């Protein structure tokens, strides 16, 4: 795999370089609540601008449905990128249209442009290869056939999408510094990790991540499950979950996992429940078998926090993805804070990954130095650890 250093060795002065970054940051309205992914993109961008490249950045925000949606505009990200880079970032209000074309044409050597959310174009995430390739060709047309492509969005390398995968097939391609660093750290977890090896899984991307568990379970000693992931397992045990997040089509899979690996899987025994998905909802603490029909589980309860912390205290290696509660609302943040504090207090080799998980560590006042590595990728890290072929990485090998 060629890296950014190989590209810099060739020289990029005056050359256009298309960079895929993961700038998918949490927002409260248009306010960025954690800019970790923006900061993580800086080393690659700075190396390129210092070398005199014309840097065109493409990125996504959230999961728009293939058409422009104001709330998913990257405009606030362009403003923050300007701040942290300390240099102006020109924002194109479209992806491969007139604004993008004039922005790229006017870009000076050493300048940076950010294109509007690549997922505003339905071809980006299309399952149809011809559609994706069409968008990839449009991106190449935008930056010119003599441009280079730098893949630096580690959090998105598990996605076979036009700006991650297909465009790399059309341009000379290089792994950016973030992709190189992240894969090097995660690789250590795949080669004989010191035991006990404990994985903690939570979050809300339940359908994505339940699939990974099957492959991961044989490798780990304990799997602690919280957040939105927990309720499908609870349902598999025959419990009612009220209005909690549920992946109904995966209940049988979860039942099978519990039958086969029940000794390794630790589920919450109590929950903080709420009568509404709102910061000021009425709340209660109940056992796992007592979630009322009209209520929903939004955090792990105090007994679960203690039990999970006890397992974490014994671990030599830890990987954590997914907040165990809706940490963005103070009433449901205690579980995630407890997990983070328990990891930070120990001396394990510990990696936390994911846009929201990393944001939780940074915003809940946890000692960040207690983590060996804070990764920008959640799903990407999980798939890397399970040993899957990640399209955005394998395409760089070719
Ligand atoms: N019980 C729950 N119900 C609904 N959402 C939850 C629950 N627990 C956690 N979440 C949400 O999961 C989101 C993060 O999920 P995910 O994207 O999978 O994690 P990451 O970005 O770290 O990979 C957070 O916004 C959090 O509020
Ligand atoms: O936030 C992300 O992943 P994560 O929540 O697994 O960390 C990445 O930006 C990928 O986004 P996606 O899961 O919508 O493809």
Q: Are residues 12 and 93 in the same domain?
A: yes
Q: Are residues 252 and 103 in the same domain?
A: no
For residue range 119-158, list pLDDT tens digits in order: 999 999 999 999 999 999 999 999 999 999 999 999 999 9
- Choose which residue among 209, 355, 361, 384 to substitute to test ligand 2 binding: the one with the highest number of ligand atoms within 8 A of its C-beta: 355
Query: Which of 20, 37, 160, 305 does the annotation list as catalytic?
Result: 37
CA gap 357, 221 in Å, rounded? 22
CATH of the domain at 78: 3.40.50.1260
Q: Is residue 211's pLDDT more than 90?
A: no
Residue 121 and residue 66 in contact, taking contact as beta carbons nearer than 8 Å: yes
Count of other CB atoms within 10 angstroms of residue 255: 16
Ligand 1 atom nearest to CA at 379 = 23
Domain presence at residue 393:
no
Say yes or no: CB of residue 378 within 6 Å of ligand 2. Answer: yes
CA gap 203, 250 in Å, rounded? 16
Domain presence at residue 75:
yes
Q: Are residues 320 and 172 in the same domain?
A: no
Say yes or no: CB of residue 356 within 6 Å of ligand 1. Answer: yes
Q: Are residues 310 and 345 in the same domain?
A: yes
233 three-state secondary structure: helix
Residue 102 and residue 45 in contact, taking contact as beta carbons nearer than 8 Å: no
Say yes or no: CB of residue 354 within 6 Å of ligand 1. Answer: yes
Which amino acid residue places its CA nearest to atom 13 of ligand 2? 379
91 three-state secondary structure: strand
Name which of 182, 199, 195 is nearest 386 in CA terms: 199
Q: Are residues 167 and 22 in the same domain?
A: yes
For residue range 158-203, list pLDDT tens digits in order: 999 999 999 999 999 999 999 999 999 999 999 999 999 999 999 9
Using only C-alpha atoms, the chain has a radius of gyration, in whole angstroms, of 22
Ligand 1 atom nearest to CA at 298 = 1
Q: Model pTM?
A: 0.97
Domain presence at residue 398:
no
CA gap 323, 109 in Å, rounded? 41
Which amino acid residue places its CA nearest to atom 10 of ligand 2? 156
Residue 39 appears among annotated catalytic residues: no
Q: Are residues 52 and 192 in the same domain?
A: no
Q: How far is the CA of 355 from the centre of ligand 2 (A)?
A: 7
Residue 127 appears among annotated catalytic residues: no
Domain presence at residue 111:
yes
What is the mean predicted confidence (pLDDT) over 357-366?
Answer: 96
**Structural domain boundaries enclosing 106:** 4-178
Residue 370 appears among annotated catalytic residues: no
Q: Is residue 210's pLDDT more than 90?
A: no
Query: Which of 355, 370, 378, 392 does the annotation list as catalytic?
Result: 355
Domain boundary residue among 162, 178, 194? 178
Q: Which DSSP string do the residues of 163-216 spell out, in sequence order?
A: IIIIGGGTS-EEE-HHHHHHHHHHHHHHSS--SSEEEEE-SS-HHHHHHHHHHH
150 three-state secondary structure: strand
Q: Are residues 307 and 205 in the same domain?
A: yes
Q: Is residue 14's pLDDT more than 90?
A: yes
Domain boundary residue among 138, 161, 178? 178
Q: How far is the CA of 109 from the centre of ligand 1 (A)?
A: 40
Q: Look over the chain and give the mean of its residue pLDDT values, rounded to a whole number.
A: 97
For residue range 299-349, list pLDDT tens digits in order: 999 999 999 999 999 999 999 999 999 999 999 999 999 999 999 999 999
Q: Are residues 46 and 123 in the same domain?
A: yes
Domain presence at residue 391:
no
For residue range 304-316, list pLDDT tens digits in order: 999 999 999 999 9
Q: Are residues 115 and 204 in the same domain?
A: no
Q: Are residues 119 and 213 in the same domain?
A: no
Domain boundary residue among 149, 178, 207? 178
Domain presence at residue 378:
yes
Domain presence at residue 30:
yes
Q: Are residues 214 and 353 in the same domain?
A: yes
Give the position of tokens 């942290």: 84
Q: Are residues 140 and 191 in the same domain?
A: no
Residue 262 appears among annotated catalytic residues: no
Which amino acid residue places its CA nearest to atom 1 of ligand 2? 355
Say yes or no: CB of residue 328 within 6 Å of ligand 1. Answer: yes
Domain presence at residue 101:
yes
Q: How far is the CA of 355 from the centre of ligand 1 (A)?
A: 10
How many structural domains comprise the chain? Answer: 2
């Amino acid at each position: 795999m060629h890296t950014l250093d190989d590209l810099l060795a060739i020289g990029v002065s005056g050359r256009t370089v298309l960079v895929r970054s993961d700038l998918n940051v949490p927002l409260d309205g248009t306010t960025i609540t954690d800019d970790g992914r923006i900061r993580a993109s800086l080393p690659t961008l700075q190396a390129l601008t210092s070398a005199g490249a014309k840097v065109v950045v493409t990125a996504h925000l959230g999961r728009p449905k293939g058409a422009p949606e104001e709330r998913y505009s990257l405009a606030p990200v362009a403003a923050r990128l300007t701040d942290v880079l300390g240099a102006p970032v020109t924002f194109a209000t479209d992806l491969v249209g007139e604004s993008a074309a004039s922005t790229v044409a006017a870009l000076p050597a050493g300048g940076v442009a950010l294109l509007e959310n690549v997922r505003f174009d339905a071809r980006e995430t299309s399952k149809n290869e011809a559609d994706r390739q069409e968008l990839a060709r449009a991106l190449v047309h935008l930056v010119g056939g003599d441009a280079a492509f730098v893949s630096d969005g580690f959090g998105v390398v598990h996605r076979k999408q036009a700006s991650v995968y297909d465009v790399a097939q059309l341009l000379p391609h290089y792994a950016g510094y973030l992709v190189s660093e992240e894969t090097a750290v995660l690789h250590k977890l795949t080669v004989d990790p010191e035991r006990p090896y404990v994985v903690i899984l939570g979050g809300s991307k339940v359908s994505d991540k339940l699939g990974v568990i099957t492959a991961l379970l044989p490798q780990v000693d304990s799997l602690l499950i919280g957040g939105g992931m927990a309720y499908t397992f609870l349902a598999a045990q025959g419990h009612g979950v009220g209005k909690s997040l549920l992946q109904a089509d995966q209940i049988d899979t979860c039942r099978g996992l519990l039958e086969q690996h029940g000794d390794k899987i630790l589920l919450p025994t109590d929950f903080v429940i709420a009568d509404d998905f709102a910061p000021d909802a009425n709340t209660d603490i109940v056992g796992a078998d007592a979630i009322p029909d009209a209520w929903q589980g939004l955090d792990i309860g105090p007994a679960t926090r203690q039990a999970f912390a006890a397992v974490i205290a014994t671990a030599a290696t830890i990987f954590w993805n997914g907040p165990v509660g809706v940490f963005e609302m103070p009433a449901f943040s205690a579980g995630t804070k407890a997990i983070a504090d328990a990891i930070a207090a120990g001396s394990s080799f510990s990696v936390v990954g994911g846009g929201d998980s990393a944001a939780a560590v940074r915003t809940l006042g946890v000692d960040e130095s207690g983590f060996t590595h804070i990764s920008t990728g959640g799903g990407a890290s999980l798939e890397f650890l399970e040993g899957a072929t990640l399209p955005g990485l394998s395409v760089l090998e070719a």
